[in-house]
Amino acid sequence: MAERSQKEVWRLTPWLVIVLLLGNFLLMAFDARQLTSGQRIIRVWSQTVADFVQSPVTTISSAVSGYFGSISNLRSAQSENDLLKKRVQEQEVEIKGNEDLTAENARLRSLLDLKAKSKIEILTAQIIGRDPSIWFDSSIVNRGSLEGVKLNMPVVANGGLVGRVTAVSPLTAQIDLITRDKSGLGAIVGEIGASNVLGVVSGTSKKDLVEMRYVSGSVDVQVGQIVYTSGQDGIYPAGLKVGEIVEVRTGSATVPHQIFIRPSSGISSMQEVAILLYEPPVRTEFEQKLPNALTETKKPAGSRP
Amino acid sequence: MGQLKITIALILAILLQWTLRNVAEPFAYIDFPLIIVVYAALQRDVLKAIFFGSFAGLAVDALSGGLLGSNGFSKTLIAYAVSELARRVYMDNLLLRIPVIAGACLLDDLIYYGMHKLLGQEPVGQVIIVIAYTLIGTTIAGTFIYLMLDSTLVERRGNKKRDMFPTRRQTRRRNPIRFTK
């Protein structure tokens, strides 16, 4: 009797395997088709469950590494202290100058009757989890929808752009980095207003390098120049630092430059990030009706109200 | 009881996979859920192995930037292949399990990478290097984990061995040559 049931199991198994493989394949195909829009509910649930494990583990591990780190740093503390004292004195002078400039700016603005430029609110977050698969490099932070985090909100660290929020649970959020090959953002070489070298920055599948494309080969671009977001992609605000140009493969009048940028955010070593609670402005009706514009169902959530 | 222990081991493996990369980057090269899925498949419990494969794969995919279902696909296939192999070849020896876990890891990585390429996704990093490191990490960790699991489930293993190779009934030998009367 037992032998027969074992045979039945072995007869049933290939069909079960086919069903499971098909299910997984459909899930993959669905995810690949709508990778940039919305989020899968399974990700939200998993993140919520994982948070109860990831947060304590991160807290303990960072406390332990911090303890040993502080012991090893004790040796250089004296010289560092002297250097910092000197730097504080310099910065006090600088702050005084800045205060004067701010007051002057406010006075001039009131004279010109300009509205104050709205500031973007920032939410600091700690990275509590990294991508469990070595093939990808997304991160999970300890801020979620309860604190106002929404899909596609930009994330920065160390003064540079890191990526955007791609999944939000009540307590956590997943961040996709700009180094991912499917990422893309509008960028400009040099400060906005001082330059007109526009292009698109996308990932190269290398952990510390992104590529700027579609920059006309007839414009002058140098290694060492800084690249900022242009704000034209409908996700990132203008003026965020992307990184520094490390290589330029010069194009021609008909062939665009190939520009490689090292992100300034220190993606591989970051432990804390800042989420910009920024929602892009509403696009005009005309732009929404462009042939290549995203439809209502496919649009990135959070990009429009 | 042994079944419950393997299930607990799988849950622990998923939790380790979720958390250890944030503690130290090299841990990402160890595929803990794959080790447990292969172990379950080696126990010839094919149904449990394929369900473990799908569940563990989906759990890893859910927190990953990769495609949802890609790990589930590869691990289900690996679980089935290993249980078919274990059905035909006796592999209750640790030395025989080492090449099995290494082969399973290699196949898992190739399927995972291939599925992403097929669906237009480009994983991060150099393929050869990532596969090589994962192969080394998972094989070494797998060997130690199998030793641990075997020592934990030793009673069950002993029973299974007794079932597979029952002790032969000793027939009484008679000496045909009698020296005495």
Decide if B137 touches A, using CB distance below 8 A.
Answer: no
For residue A129, which residues of chain B lie inside 8 Å, CB to CB? 18-19, 21-22, 63
Most confident residue range from A2-6, A290-294, B4-8: B4-8
User: Would you place residue A284 in the very low, low, confident or very high pLDDT band (cuts 50, 70, 90)?
Assistant: low
Of the listed ranges A44-58, A195-209, A233-247, B67-81, the one predicted with least confidence: A44-58
All residues at 6 or more sequence positions from A258 whose CB lies less than 8 Å from its CB, including other chains: A211, A213, A248, A249, A251
Q: Residue A304: pLDDT above 50?
A: no
Of A17, A131, A206, the CB nearest to B64: A131
- Interface probe for B, chosen from A133, A138, A140, A169 (most Cβ of B below 10 Å), is A133
Residue found by looking up tokens 């596969």 in the block: B131
What was the pLDDT predicted at B65? Answer: 82
What was the pLDDT predicted at A269? Answer: 72
Q: Measure Cα distances from A55 to A137, A147, A249, B31 in Å.
A: 19, 16, 44, 21
Of the listed ranges A1-15, A118-132, B28-42, B68-82, the one predicted with least confidence: A1-15
Q: Residue B23: pLDDT above 90?
A: no
Q: Residue A78: pLDDT above 90?
A: no
Q: Residue A302: pLDDT above 50?
A: no
For residue A43, which residues of chain B lie inside 8 Å, CB to CB? 62-63, 68
- A150 vs A166: CA distance, rounded Å: 9
Mean pLDDT of A68-83: 78
Q: Residue B77: pLDDT above 90?
A: yes
Decide if B166 touches A, using CB distance below 8 A.
Answer: no
Of B62, B66, B70, the CB nearest to A46: B62
What was the pLDDT predicted at B37? Answer: 93
For residue B50, which residues of chain A lie inside 8 Å, CB to CB? 13, 16-17, 20
Question: Cβ contact (<8 Å) for A136 and B68?
Answer: no
- A207 vs A270: CA distance, rounded Å: 13
3-state helix, strand, coil in chain B (%, to 5): 75, 0, 25
Q: Residue B30: pLDDT above 90?
A: yes
- A76 vs A97: CA distance, rounded Å: 32
Question: Cβ contact (<8 Å) for B64 and A129?
Answer: no
User: Would you place residue A22 in the very low, low, confident or very high pLDDT band (cuts 50, 70, 90)?
Assistant: very high
- The model's pLDDT over A139-195, given as tens digits with 9 standing for 90+, comes to 888 888 898 898 889 998 877 888 899 888 888 888 888 888 778 888 998 877 777
Share of chain A above pLDDT 90, in %: 5
- The model's pLDDT over B129-168, given as tens digits with 9 standing for 90+, comes to 999 999 999 999 999 999 988 887 765 555 555 555 556 6
Share of chain A above pLDDT 70, in %: 84
Question: Cβ contact (<8 Å) for B60 and A176?
Answer: no
Q: Smallest Cα–Cα separation from A144: which of A167, A163, A178, A121? A: A167
What the block records as the tokens of B137 is 């990490």
User: Would you place residue A11 in the very low, low, confident or very high pLDDT band (cuts 50, 70, 90)?
Assistant: confident
Q: Measure Cα distances from A187 to A13, A116, A229, B81 in Å.
A: 53, 25, 4, 48
What the block records as the tokens of B93 is 């020896």
User: Would you place residue A51 in the very low, low, confident or very high pLDDT band (cuts 50, 70, 90)?
Assistant: confident
What was the pLDDT predicted at B181? Answer: 55
What the block records as the tokens of A12 is 């049933």
DSSP state of A123: E
Q: Residue B19: pLDDT above 90?
A: no
What the block records as the tokens of A170 is 């009540």
From chain B residues 11-30, the ones with a CB under 8 A of any chain A CB are 15, 17-19, 21-23, 25, 28-29
For residue A173, which residues of chain B lie inside 8 Å, CB to CB? none
Of B60, B71, B73, the CB nearest to A21: B73
Q: Residue A303: pLDDT above 50?
A: no
Question: Cβ contact (<8 Å) for A20 and B54?
Answer: yes
- A162 vs A264: CA distance, rounded Å: 9
Four-point Cα dihedral A231, A44, A135, B15, nearest 10 = 140
Question: Cβ contact (<8 Å) for A132 and B70?
Answer: no
Residue found by looking up tokens 């099995």 in the block: B100
Q: Residue A266: pLDDT above 70?
A: yes
CA atoms within 13 A on the CB side of A71: 5
